[in-house]
Every structure is written in C-alpha cells, then in structure tokens.
Structure 1
Amino acid sequence: MIFRFDASEAQAILDTKRRMLGRGLSYAEKILFLHEGEGSYAKRLNPGKDPIDLYPDRVALQDATAQMAMLQFMQSQAEKIRVPATIHCDHLLRASRGAEPDLAEGCEANREVYDFLSSAAERYGLGFWGPGSGIIHQVVFENYAFPGGLMLGTDSHTPNAGGLGMLAIGVGGADAAEAMLGLPWETPYPLIVGVHLTGRLTGWASAKDVILEMLRRFTVKGGTGKIFEYFGDGAQSLSATEKATITNMGAELGATSSVFVYDEGMDAYLRSVGRAGDADKVEAMSEILSQDKRCTDEPESVFAEVVEIDLQSVRPAHAGPFSPDSVTDVADFRRKAQEEGWPQTVSAVLLGSCTNSSYSDLHAAADILEQAARQGLEPKVPFLLSPGSIQIFETIRRDHLLEIFLKAGVTILASSCGPCIGQWERKDVPKGMPNVIFTTFNRNFRGRNDANPETRAFLTSPAMAAALAIAGDVGFDPERDTLHSSAGEPFKLVPPKPPALPPDGLVSTKEGFRPPKEDARRTEVIIPPESERLERLKPFDPWDGKDFIELPILVKTAGKTTTDHISPGGRWLAYRGHLSNISKNLLEGALNAFTRETGHGTNVLTGARGIPFPDLARSYKEESGGFVIIGDWNYGEGSSREHAAMTPRFLGAKAVIARSFARIHEANLKKQGILPLTFSEPSDYDRIEAFDRLSILDLDKLAPGKPVMVKISREGSDSFEIRLDHSLNEKQIAWFRAGSALRGAVS
C-alpha cells in the first residue's frame, strides 16, 4: 500500500482535527495531520510558532547532497533505513559535448563518488538511480510521487511532487538522515495560503508564467513559513506536469512547500506512466484527498491568506537577471533591456531542468522549431537540451520529437541537471564578457549557470525559449513581432498546443535503476582512505557550557547572500562528500559589507587585508576560539545544501546573526549546532563595524522565546548591547548543547 493509513482511520483523525479547529480542513492540512506524530497531535498549533512532528512516507536524495546525508546516517550505526528512500545521480555530470561523451567522462570522473553512493545504498537498503537515469524530481514524479503522500528531499525543489498532489519538502542531509532512521521530522507549523486559480491559460502564456506572477507578487522572501495550496477550476485546467512547474518554483518564493489538490489530471498522469495500481488506490481515497467544502465557500476562514489569479489574465514573462523575482512581461522586455543597457542579442538558450523538462514542455519547444524549419529557419544561437529523465528521452525519440531537435542543431545533453546547477563547460563566451542567456530553469543567481558573473540569465517558458533561439533577439515578442523566412517572406509564430500527456503513454524503462536489497549487511561501503572527494565525518564537539566571549566577525555580508554565495557549486560539487575540502570555498561568493570585496576580508587580529574567508576562519578558530557571521535579509536563500551550514561549523562559527533567514538554511544551522539569531531591531545590522568583538551572553539560560543579549566591544569606545531573537525550541536548544542534531538524536 502507498498509504500509511486506511480510509476509516484517516477520517477519524481528520474529524478530531475539525472539532479541534472548529472548521473544515484544507488539502495541505489533511496531509500534515495524517502524517503527524504523537508529540504535537493533541495540540492546537499556532502557525509559525509551534513545531509539528511529521513522519514522511519516503525520502529522496540527489548525489551532491546524498554524500553528506549518507555520511551522517552512517554515524548513527543503524543497520538499515526505516523509511523508503532513493539516491539519484543527477548533479555531478558536466555538460560539454553531448549526452554520450559527457556521460562517459562523468562516470569516470565521479567514479569514487558513485561507488560510495551505490555501495551505501546497497548496504542500507536504498534504491539507486545511476548517472544518466534522470533528474531527481522528474524521476520521483514518474515513479514515486502520489497524491496525499508526504516526502522529504535533500534538494530545495523537492516540492515539484506537489504537481501530483504530494506534500514534498526540501531539507538538509541531517534531516534526511534522521527521517531515514525513523525519527520524526520537526518543522514550525506552517501558514497555509490558498491560491484560487480561475480561467484558462491562453496564447503564449504558460505554467511558468503563473509562478513568475506569484514571484512578482510575493518576492523571494514572501513564502517563508508558508505552504501554498492551489485549487479551483483554473487549477483543474492544468496538467499534472504544468502543476509541477508551479510547485517546483515555489522554492523560489522561500515556501515550505506548494501543492495542488488531487484531481483527474493527476489520475491521468499516473495511468500514463504505468502506475494504474497507484491510481486505483488514490481514487479509492478520493473523498479524503480533497478540500473540505468550506475552503471554497468561505476560504478566508480556512486559509491564512487567499490569493486570486485569473489564468486568462496571465501574460508571458521573463525573470531576471540575478533574481527569479525580477519579473518583466515579454511585451515590455525590449524597452527594459535597452534602459538597463543589457546586450540586445541572445548568446545561448537552455531547455530542460527539473522545472521544464516534461514531455509537454519539450513538445511545445519542438513545435516552435518545426514552425521555423518550415520557413527555412533554425536557431541562431547555441541551443542545449537536458531531458528530464531517460523515460522522457525515450518517449521523445519514439514520437519523433528528438528528430526535430537534432535537425535544428540542438545539442542533446545527458538526462541530468547540467547547466541549471553550474555544470556547464561553456566555451563560446569568455568569462567576464557581458551576455544574455534564456533558460527554462528555476534560478538565475549571478554566475550560477556558467561561472561568468557578467552573464545575464533570464528564466522563461519552453515555447518562449525556442522562439528566442530562432529570433536571436532579446526583445523578440512572438505575440506581435514578425520573423522572415529564408525566402524573405514575413511570418508569425503560432502559440503551440502540446498534449498534456504522450498519446501512447511514457515509454516504460528503468534503465540505470538498482532496487534496494533486502539484506546487504555484508556489503562494504566504499570510501578510499586517501580520497580527496570523500571523508568520514567526525562528530562536532558539544557546547562547553560557556558564553561566547569577544568573538571576531568573519564577515558582514551585504545584500543577497544565497547558499550559492556561502558554499558555491560548480567545480566545488566535486568535494560535497569531503568536509575538509569543501570548506575551502566558504563564503567565496559573499560580498563583504566592510571592504566591498567578494570572498575576502581583513584579519582584525593582524591587520592583514584581502584574506580568503576560509583562511580567515581557520585563523579565528585557532586564535579566538571561533567567530560570528553577520548576514543581511533572507540570509541563506536558495538551495537545501547543508554544506552552507556544515562548513562554517567545521571552521569555527558559533553563531550567524542576520536580519532574517531563509527557512531551510536556518534549519540547517540549527541541525549543525550553530546559533541562528536575528536582530530584534533590523537597523542594528548597520551598527556593526569590522573590528567589533561580540560576546553572546547567558547561554546557560537559552530558552524558547527568550531574547539573547550580545555585547559589542569596540576599541576606543564604550561597549553597548543589542537584543537578538531566535526561533529555537527546547529540542533545538538540546541540539546546540549536544554539538549537532544527529549527535543529540543518536545519544
């Protein structure tokens, strides 16, 4: 059975919750309550304040984060996982010459990591999807996601499964390790925001434009602590994969998760991918897997907030550069590009990623290329395609879509993340040269795709990406602009109308998959002793019971500080399983508010300038016993990578003090034993100076809801105190005292 409960059991639980709350329940609430642990079950929880204990149905790990997750799991001495889990090898393959050579080179270059993950999966009972089998979220969507389920994943875009009605949440590796041990996962009880969709998408508007409209309204900070629940006639008009595009990029809102209410489109998808048995089980639970009537009759009495979007009014848009909430309608983009002085020609187009690599997405792009080919045109710029999975690749090959892409000169990459997460060996544009690319990806932080800080990356839909590849003009608007055929005849592109699902279903293949073994206790986990890429973990030291006195500031970061800035990807992905080596990239991309340098700071002990942050951190750890990091708004925005918490912890960080935190990063800091503190008065951020020393006092009295005082000592000036807030509960304070959450849980 895919459900951990039967219908009568579920109905009893939900009836209890209805009586407790005095109202009907939303779809997301039902999933939460049906997976809730005893610790919070009997309580009426306050959103954003009280924790909820949850038991997930499964866990998914991608190869870049799975390394540290499995290394932490191994510390527990457990014999086997207690919750179904899979590892997906999708992040480490570099995109360069095409699928076959890239896959061959990647398998060789990453052999020791794949051997480790493969052997660890076998030893502890996880399923293993090898390199080239697909992007984690697409493979999970095809094989494991189901309406009403709860999943944790070590990737921030895990909510992709929300397109199939599953509540899926991105977490750090320590969270995943604990969940695989059968321990409850704790998170602040979220606010549920209802997003009521009406109407239908028309013309060039797409599901990508719906989530860009949400980002325009909420920004990258507006979803923190929230689950977005999409419902209404408009929601039902979207296919399951269109829904997934929207829930996938809910991560960019900073949301805990995003989910669509179960409907017939999800049933159709499950049957199309050969999961009729799962579809039947879900259909039998359809009365449970619905919103209570009050959600539509009186939504304001159920949801913390209600958002109205008429899909008919959604217009095609691009987002960027450098932030996914910088949204501009396509109709206004030429003017905007000219005002900003951006290059006017497109330098490359990238299609695919976990956000937009479904059959329907690729069909839409192929339609545009075919329209152009009939007029004697082909892409004017490099056009790269990353299929979402081997199933998608085999299906577009069977249905002759692959032929259209190849005839148009498109480079077909391996079914992996590739350029979306910086694994792109780009050679057509030298580093430092300003240029514009359009992608169907989900993030566009500076330097993320090609390590060129001067690349302006814009997020768009598959159809629009293909149209821009044909036009080569950044301001091209297919709704009103005309192209000219090879014979000089004017013509306009017509909006594509791709099928929601392949007419003959998805090709069935499990290529690259190895199912879990029942008993593999004799399997040896492979970690070469001299490896530069893998390193067994040593537990972090517990708190010594003393206040943190006169600590130097490693850096005060200015502006957007994402996990990409704190622990960059790209070439550093090679060291995600080696804490000593990955720590050498600490804050490499962070802007120093004191010196305006990136990745460097001044040693306040010696006066030496231009010191890389990892070297500075080691010095402070040796000479001062540690350091503090000061952050700006939404510190730690972006991916779920816990390396952004583990590396500062490894190098001596005692606390991170910020104006505010992104959800996953704050949780990861707590898990690794670093105190995440926020300025009670945000303007106090401006009072902190480079040579200040910080003393964090009365830590023996650290308690939930009780502010923390920090004394600022400044040479030649009187010291002063500022107040800091925190969201630590009793359990999380115990993690801090134990040295880390996993150490506390195991002990």
Structure 2
Amino acid sequence: MQDATAQMALLQFMSAGVPQTAVPSSVHCDHLLLGRFGSDKDLPIALEANHEVFEFLGSVSNKYGVGFWKPGSGIIHQVVLENYAFPGGMMIGTDSHTPNAGGLGMVAVGVGGSDAVDVMAGFPWEVKYPKLVGVKLTGKLNGWTSPKDVILKLLGIMTVKGGTNKIVEYFGEGVASLSCTGKGTITNMGAELGATTSVFPFDESMARYLSATNRAALADLARKYKHLVTADAEVEKDPAKYYDEVIEIDLSTLEPHIVGPHTPDLARPISALKAEVKAKGYSNNLTSALIGSCTNSSYEDISRAADVANQALSHGVKTKSNLFISPGSEQVFETVKRDGFLATLEEAGGVVLTNSCGPCIGQWKRDDIKDGTKNSIVTSFNRNFRGRNDSNAETESFITSPELTVAMGLAGRLDFDPLHDELTGADG
C-alpha cells in the first residue's frame, strides 16, 4: 500500500479486530513528497507537512506487523521489485501500477483499499475472470530503442481501453533480450492499457536481478520449477489457440516512440514528431525534462540517461530545459551516486528530487511557468493527462524513454530527433 491509499485501508483494517495481517503486507511513503527545490530541501518540508500521516502509518504498521518504508526510501513499485516480488507469486497493491512486479514474473494487480483490507483480514480476493492477450516479441532491441518503446508501441495499438478485463502475457524469443527492470517498465504501463495485469515468463535476466538484490535462493527455486513459471511449449507453438488475442512486435525494427500530449496512447515514432509539432501547433518550447516515476527510475534507466548526458558534456553541451531526476529507491540512489551517474546529470544541469513519485503524480511545484502558460514537457513517466504533472491545463506533456527525455532536454525543443538531428557543442 502507498501512503495515500493506505490511510483509509489501515483505518478499516483496525476495525477488523485481528492481531495482525493474514498475509505479508507493507506500507510505502512515496506519494506525499512535493518536488520543487531538490531532495535536501524537499524531504524535510514533506516530513513536517505530513508528520501526522506518517506517524499514523508507522505506528499502525508496527502494531499489526506491516512492513513500513519511511518517506524517502523509494517508490513502492521499485522497492517491491527489489525486495518482495518473485516469479510465480501473486500480489495485490493499492496502486494502479502494481503490475510492475510482472517484470519479475509475478501476477500483481492494482486494487482499491477495500480489497486490500479484505485480504489483510483473511478473506478471499475476487476479480472478474479476465481474457488473455499474448504479445509475441521477436528480434532484439538496438540503437536508441528501449523497453519503454515496447509498451508505447503497444499503447498505440491497443489504446487506453484495449486491455480492460484482460491479462497481457509476453512471450517469444525477444523476451530473453530484455532486462528484468526493462520488463518491469513494460508491465508497469500495462495499467495505461486498462489491463488487469501484465506478466513476463521467468528467464535468466530475472535470475540475475534476484541475485543482484540478494535473493539468489529465489532464483534457484524458480529454475527448479521453471516449467511452472514459463510458457508451455504448445502455447508458444500455436498461441492463437490459447490466447483470446495475439499481437506481435519485432524488437529489431521497433523505433523509439513518444506519446502525447494528454493521453498515453497517442503514439508515434520519434521521427514523426517533428512534422506533427508543426502541423498540430504543439508548443516547441520544451520547458522541462523529467526522469523517474515507478516506470523508469531503476539503476538501468538512470545509467542510460546519464550516458546521453555524458556524451553531451564531452562536447560542452548542457540542458536547455529544466532537468529533474527522481531515483526509484534509496538503493537506486546510492548505487547511481556511487557510480557517478547523478554527478553527471547534475553537471548537465539536473536537479535530483526525493526518491518518490514526485512530479509524475502532480507533486511538483513549478516556479518557472505561470498557470495557463502554454508549454511542453517531456518525461519518462506513465501518465500525461491534461494538468496531471503540474496542474497547468496548458502544459503539453509527452512521454518517452529516459534517454530520449535527456536528449530532448539538451536541445530544449520538442521537435528534436536525436536519431537524425545534431546539437552544436562548445567545441563546434
């Protein structure tokens, strides 16, 4: 449970009259932290402003045996991926992006607080029996293309309503080429399809991630029962027989995508955006570039973003747009800091916010744009509905991968295509 939805859920659970939760449960303080000045200043402000809420959540969690992750410890879904998710498990969470754990082979579903209370009190959880969508991935990603582009492409195909009452299951030879956190990015944004959940089969990328996060025993267990956490041979051979719908995406030919504004299913390759900016009158003034959210705040995401920034810095180029970075967890923060990625992004002009949801859910206080001013922003987030990120209905919000977010922020223009356009550095 995250801190916004956990308040009512725990109040209801307290009335159940049971000494502790029937299943392992946790609370994550990630929603009530405003992004504005940077982590060092923003965290103390949030702790003071929401002191009573955090104290309540912490004390109730302690009483009933619920794990409590304090403010600044990270975004719920990244923390869950690092600590709780495992192949073959089932989990519900009081947040729509709970399916992020599907990147680690878990059936993870976002629910309302009352559903969570039922489960914590020992009652069964019920959901409408879903249809199955099989997404076959072939080939291998290359160049600027990232895991984010898989789900953005799929959103363009299925739309924000196409996944309703469906589970999206990924399979095919291309699956093994994706990292575990990359898979998490894809299943995370299954929420934007309206899907019940999304899931990948167990493979060695998941095993490597489990080992890297001190859970090698779970990797060994998944290997032992691999037949239970991977697709049956007959399913891969004849998917149309087992799925209600089959969609195929060739990773080798997939182009980097960008979606928006105002809806995550308005998708096109980055190469097509330049003409669209002119034709549709989108604001070419890219005021901010934001990296983070539960969708793209992993070590891999930030390292890829930092690599782009580092290449620009080697030619004397810094961001023309405001650049904000929200690490997904304390573990991500410490490792990207250790490896110099945060320093690189800060040198390029970035501001590091708290390890929290921040601007993705509207927890962003802008001092650069007055309300009602038309402008565009680019993010690595998951949602871009009108006014969502900064409460300004005239902000046109576009979503893409972390590396494209940085590249476009360096240019300061919405119509910049890093695959074909160039920036002039201080060295010419």
TM-score tier after normalising by the smaller chain length:
over 0.9
Name the counterpart of 1:80: 20
Tell me which structure has the larger Cα radius of gyration.
1
Name the counterpart of 1:285: 225
Q: Residues 573-614 of structure 1: CA distance to partner in whole angstroms, max 9, x if unpaired?
A: xxxxxxxxxxxxxxxxxxxxxxxxxxxxxxxxxxxxxxxxxx
Q: Residues 21-50 of structure 1: CA distance to partner in whole angstroms, max 9, x if unpaired?
A: xxxxxxxxxxxxxxxxxxxxxxxxxxxxxx
Name the counterpart of 2:148: 208
Q: Stretches of 4+ moved more than 4 A in 1?
A: none
Taking the TM superposition and a 5 Å limit, the aligned residue runs for 1:79-228 are: 79-228=19-168
Decide which of 188, 193, 196 is 1:256's aligned counterpart.
196
Name the counterpart of 2:292: 352
Question: How far 1:144 moved relative to its partner?
Answer: 0.5
Question: How far 1:290 moved relative to its partner?
Answer: 1.8
Which structure features the higher share of helix residues? Answer: 2
Name the counterpart of 2:210: 270
* Separation (CA, whole Å) in 1 of partners of 2:278 and 2:122: 55
Paired letter, 1:350: L
Paired letter, 1:463: E
* Separation (CA, whole Å) in 2 of partners of 1:203 and 1:69: 45
Q: Does 1:244 pair with 2:184?
A: yes
TM-score when normalising by structure 2: 0.99
Name the counterpart of 2:305: 365
Q: Does 1:68 pair with 2:8?
A: yes
Q: 3-state SS of the aligned residue for 1:477?
A: coil
Q: Does 1:455 pair with 2:395?
A: yes
Q: Does 1:318 pair with 2:258?
A: yes
Question: How far 1:276 moved relative to its partner?
Answer: 1.3
Stretch moving more, 218-227 or 294-303: 294-303
Decide which of 304, 324, 343 is 2:244's aligned counterpart.
304
Name the counterpart of 1:728: none
Unaligned runs of 5+ in 2: none
Question: How far 1:75 moved relative to its partner?
Answer: 2.5
Q: Does 1:430 pair with 2:374?
A: no
Question: How far 1:119 moved relative to its partner?
Answer: 0.8
Question: How far 1:232 moved relative to its partner?
Answer: 1.1
Q: 3-state SS of the aligned residue for 2:387?
A: coil
Question: How far 1:283 moved relative to its partner?
Answer: 2.0
Taking the TM superposition and a 5 Å limit, the aligned residue runs for 1:337-416 are: 337-416=277-356
Q: 3-state SS of the aligned residue for 2:384?
A: coil
Name the counterpart of 1:601: none
* Separation (CA, whole Å) in 1 of partners of 2:296 and 2:246: 27
Q: 3-state SS of the aligned residue for 1:485?
A: coil
* Separation (CA, whole Å) in 2 of partners of 1:83 and 1:158: 17
* Separation (CA, whole Å) in 2 of partners of 1:283 and 1:411: 41
Contact 2:324 2:353 in 1 (8 A): yes
Contact 2:99 2:190 in 1 (8 A): yes
Question: How far 1:67 moved relative to its partner?
Answer: 0.6
Q: Residues 109-157 of structure 1: CA distance to partner in whole angstroms, max 9, x if unpaired?
A: 1000001100110111100000000000000000000000000000000
Contact 2:163 2:196 in 1 (8 A): yes
Contact 2:202 2:222 in 1 (8 A): no
Question: How far 1:239 moved relative to its partner?
Answer: 0.4
Q: Residues 286-314 of structure 1: CA distance to partner in whole angstroms, max 9, x if unpaired?
A: 12222111111111111111111111121
* Separation (CA, whole Å) in 2 of partners of 1:458 and 1:168: 27
Question: How far 1:376 moved relative to its partner?
Answer: 0.5
Name the counterpart of 2:383: 443
Question: How far 1:328 moved relative to its partner?
Answer: 2.1
Paired letter, 1:303: Y
Paired letter, 1:393: F
Paired letter, 2:54: Y
Relative contact order higher in (CA < 8 Å, ≥ 6 apart): 2
* Separation (CA, whole Å) in 2 of partners of 1:328 and 1:284: 42
Taking the TM superposition and a 5 Å limit, the aligned residue runs for 1:532-611 are: none
Question: How far 1:79 moved relative to its partner?
Answer: 2.0
Q: Residues 479-510 of structure 1: CA distance to partner in whole angstroms, max 9, x if unpaired?
A: 111111113x2xxxxxxxxxxxxxxxxxxxxx
* Separation (CA, whole Å) in 1 of partners of 2:321 and 2:240: 49
* Separation (CA, whole Å) in 1 of partners of 2:378 and 2:359: 12
Question: How far 1:409 moved relative to its partner?
Answer: 2.1
Question: How far 1:334 moved relative to its partner?
Answer: 1.2
* Separation (CA, whole Å) in 2 of partners of 1:335 and 1:373: 29
* Separation (CA, whole Å) in 1 of partners of 2:13 and 2:43: 29
Taking the TM superposition and a 5 Å limit, the aligned residue runs for 1:639-650 are: none
Cα RMSD for the two superposed structures: 0.9
Taking the TM superposition and a 5 Å limit, the aligned residue runs for 1:327-342 are: 327-342=267-282
Name the counterpart of 1:39: none
* Separation (CA, whole Å) in 1 of partners of 2:232 and 2:267: 34
Paired letter, 1:283: R
* Separation (CA, whole Å) in 1 of partners of 2:137 and 2:332: 28
* Separation (CA, whole Å) in 2 of partners of 1:396 and 1:85: 28
Name the counterpart of 1:36: none
Decide which of 412, 415, 427 is 1:472's aligned counterpart.
412
Q: 3-state SS of the aligned residue for 2:228?
A: coil
Question: How far 1:326 moved relative to its partner?
Answer: 0.8
Question: How far 1:206 moved relative to its partner?
Answer: 1.1
Paired letter, 2:101: A
Q: 3-state SS of the aligned residue for 1:411?
A: strand
Q: What fraction of aligned residue pairs are identical, expressed as a percent? A: 53
* Separation (CA, whole Å) in 2 of partners of 1:180 and 1:190: 23
Q: Residues 631-688 of structure 1: CA distance to partner in whole angstroms, max 9, x if unpaired?
A: xxxxxxxxxxxxxxxxxxxxxxxxxxxxxxxxxxxxxxxxxxxxxxxxxxxxxxxxxx
Q: 3-state SS of the aligned residue for 2:26?
A: strand
Q: Residues 263-295 of structure 1: CA distance to partner in whole angstroms, max 9, x if unpaired?
A: 111001000111112222222221222211111
